[in-house]
Amino acid sequence: QHYKSITFIEDVMESQPTVLPQISASCELIWGSGFSTDTEIGNIFEQWSQGFTFSDDCKSALVQGKGGPCAVIVPAQAYIIKHLIFDSEIQLADVTEEQAQKALEQSLQYIFLNVASDTIHIAKLSQQLDAVSSVEFHKHLTLQSFSTSEIGNHIQGLTESWRGDFGVMSFLYSIVLTRGIENIVSDIGIMGDPSLVDNTFGHGNQSLLNLILTGAATPNVFDYTRSIDGMDLVGVTQKTDIGFLTLLEALRYCKVGDFLKCPEYPIWIIGSESHLSLLFSAESSLCVSEKSPFKIARAAFDTFDCEGNGFIPVTDLPNVLEKLDMVSEDEYVEFMKDRLDPDSTGIILFPAFIEEFVPGAWEKQDEAFQNKQFVVQHYNGLRQSNSDKKVTYRLGAAAIYMEYNQVMEASTAPTSLLRVLRTKWPTIEIDWQSQPSIS
């Protein structure tokens, strides 16, 4: 898919009789090539037609009206939590409406600064719309541009405008324009979904979530770059402030890298098959360094176990050893091949590999967390996903207390959320005051 290069015009008239070319290009990238600004997008557009509004039952929790916009709302909520708990040291139970509004402003500003290079491009409606119409929405979107140093002077007014009916969508267009159409297309590459929003169900794709969390719309969740069949696939290139864990890893469809699993702050976006929620804690020690010998060896092994199968071809052993700066001379490699693959199956299993090169590390990988207890909270912005229809935070008492080889005995029927969390902490158990849902 090719997009025309767009040049921004600094001064744009307040009212536009026709759709701006930048908006047309953004529309195609967000919703897919089958959609355009001169035809109604339909139900998916309606799902996204909401503003950033807080719950009546929790002053700092954003409400999601329908399925779809969680890929924008949940990251915004994550940065709200970061601002309140870690930047401002405010107890969530004591948050005032003014503090919540300030946290929202800081959240959206942080996302812009994460995405922008030097200029931030803002899409906002020139007038209030009476009905949900994608054609009218696109006609009345105007553009403004600010330098990254200026955005702080305007974020309060912008955030107030994004609390209206089409605020989330206007913000979505703004971050797309700020990153740039061509940059996003390059980020996604030929292997990713060509649109940022699934045009069947309306939920945001991984590229959109990565754009907000990392500043680049890469479609992958592993660390760094991997080469598959001669193609270089770009993953997450550095540690993020907000983490990500997904049910798809528990189902063995992917493997999330350490940059997303161990973020700067103990806040993780939780992915189910089609929805995002949030798990967080005030326990900063949950974000320990991931530079243990086990993690280093695991990262090297995973570079050549691209599909997360738990094994590598025996022919890749010298490459793994070289990546670990270990002896990779032919005689030694052949000796280790015979030792790690005694039955000549042609593969090397990860447990055998790690026990050989980092003895005892498999059992000790979660040693820092053994017998650790801490409080976690879960957020799901959909009213219908909360048992009492109230959007608030669900408290849980978490414990990581067992030896790794006892993980299979932890629970006979773990919930979907617990299955996700065990992709990071294999022995975690949580006693919830009110059982949360991730869907």
83 is an active site residue = no
What is d(CA 350, CA 340) in angstroms, rounded to the nearest whole number?
A: 10
Residue count (the chain): 439
Tell me the HSE value of 411 on the side-chain side, using a 13 A CA sphere: 15
Q: Which residues pair with 200 in a beta bridge?
A: none
- Hey, what amino acid is at 267? I
**222 and 235 in contact (C-beta within 8 Å)?**
yes
Q: Which of helix, strand or coil describes residue 288? A: coil
Catalytic option among 140, 203, 275, 378: 275
Q: Which of helix, strand or coil describes residue 394? A: strand
Q: In sequence order, what are the residues at sequence separation of 6 or more whose Cβ sits closer than 8 angstroms to the Cβ of residue 7? A: none
Catalytic option among 58, 70, 140, 203: 70
Q: Is 160 exposed, middle or buried (0-12, 13-18, 19+ CB in 10 A)?
A: middle
DSSP code string of 408-439: GGS-SS--HHHHHHTTT-TTEEEEESS-----
Segment (H or E) for 280: strand 276-280
- Hey, what amino acid is at 201? F
CA distances from 343 to 282, 333, 336 (A): 49, 16, 13
Q: How many helices (H) and strands (E) does the chain have?
A: 17, 12
What is d(CA 352, CA 192) in angstroms, rounded to the nearest whole number?
A: 33
275 is an active site residue = yes
Indicate the DSSP class of residue 229: T
Q: Which residues pair with 123 in a beta bridge?
A: 143
Active site residue ranges: 70, 275
